[in-house]
Amino acid sequence: MSQDRDSTENIPAETDSNDDHISAVCTSLQFHLEQPTAEALDKRMKAVCNPDTHPKILEHIASSAPHFLVKRVADHPRTEAHTLDKLARHDHPEVRAALADNPNIVVELQWQLAEDEHPDVRFSIAQSYFVDKAVLAALTEDENPFVAHRARTTLQRLDLEMKKNKKTHTLPESSGASGRMRFRAFG
C-alpha cells in the first residue's frame, strides 16, 4: 500500500464519528502548533482534497490553516453551514470568493457575498451556477461593470440551459396509423 493512500485513509469520513479518532487525526495534522511540519501541511492538503473528509477536520483546517487551504475548505461539499458562515467573514477575499463554488451555501450567505466590498468576491458570486437567480438579478445592477456583465451572462446561460433541458426531455411519440408525430414531455 502506498504512503499517499495510508495518509488519506486515516482522515475520518463523514460517517466516522469516533471523537477519539478525530482527535488523533487533528493531532497528526498539528493544529496545536503555530508552525506545522511539511508532512502535516501535506496531510492537510490531502484532507481538503478528499471528498470524504469529516466536517470537524475541515472546521479545524478553516480556523488554523493558510488561506490557500482555507479556500479549499470553502468550496468543499462537506463543510458545515456554521463553518461556511465563518468563512463568509474571512479576512482574505479569495476565501470568501471560493464560497461561490460551494453548492451548500444558503441564500442569506449568497446575499452577503453579493454585497461584499471586494469586486472579486461579487464576481465569483455572479458567475456561480449555485447562486439563486434573485441574487444574480441584483448583481446585474452592480457598480462594477464586470460584475454586472458576468451576472447577466450567468442568468442568460442558466435560462438557455433550462430551455435546453426542457427540449431534451421531450421525445417524439408515434400517433399511430395517421403517421403524424406528436410530442410527449417528460419530467
If one counts the domains in the chain, the total is 2
Task: Indicate left, alpha or beta for 171 from its phi (over 0: left) and psi (-120 to 50: alpha).
Answer: beta
- The pTM (predicted TM-score) of the whole model is 0.73
Q: Distance between CA 68 and CA 74 in Å, rounded?
A: 10
Q: In this structure, are 35 and 101 located in the same domain?
A: yes
β-bridge partners, 174: 181
Q: Is residue 62 part of a domain?
A: yes
| Of 105, 129, 149, the domain-final residue | 105
Q: In this structure, are 21 and 45 located in the same domain?
A: yes
**How far from chain centre, in Å, is Cα 72?**
9
Q: In this structure, are 3 and 62 located in the same domain?
A: yes
Q: In this structure, are 81 and 126 located in the same domain?
A: no
Q: Is residue 185 helix, strand or coil?
A: strand
For residue 174, give the H/E element and its range.
strand 170-174
Residue 150 belongs to what domain range?
Answer: 118-172
Q: Is residue 122 part of a domain?
A: yes
Q: Tell me: pLDDT of 160 over 60.
A: yes
Q: In this structure, are 3 and 68 located in the same domain?
A: yes
Q: In this structure, are 96 and 145 located in the same domain?
A: no
Q: In this structure, are 141 and 167 located in the same domain?
A: yes
DSSP annotation of 184 reads: E
Q: In this structure, are 45 and 4 located in the same domain?
A: yes
Q: In this structure, are 123 and 101 located in the same domain?
A: no
State the cell numbers at 79.
Answer: 463543510
Burial of 3 from C-beta contacts in 10 A (0-12 / 13-18 / 19+): exposed
Q: In this structure, are 99 and 129 located in the same domain?
A: no
**How far from chain centre, in Å, is Cα 158?**
18
Q: In this structure, are 30 and 83 located in the same domain?
A: yes
Q: Tell me: pLDDT of 3 over 50.
A: no
Q: In this structure, are 139 and 162 located in the same domain?
A: yes
Q: Is residue 185 part of a domain?
A: no
Encode pLDDT of 6-53 as tens digits.
444 445 454 445 666 666 666 666 665 667 778 877 888 888 889 998
Q: Which pLDDT band holds residue 120 (cuts at 50, 70, 90)? A: very high
pLDDT at site 87: 96
Q: Is residue 13 part of a domain?
A: yes
Q: Is residue 177 part of a domain?
A: no
| Of 82, 105, 128, the domain-final residue | 105
CA neighbor of 22 nearest in space, from 70, 57, 61: 57
Q: Is residue 184 part of a domain?
A: no
Q: Tell me: pLDDT of 134 over 70.
A: yes
Provide the Cα torsion 143, 149, 151, 155; round to 10°: 140
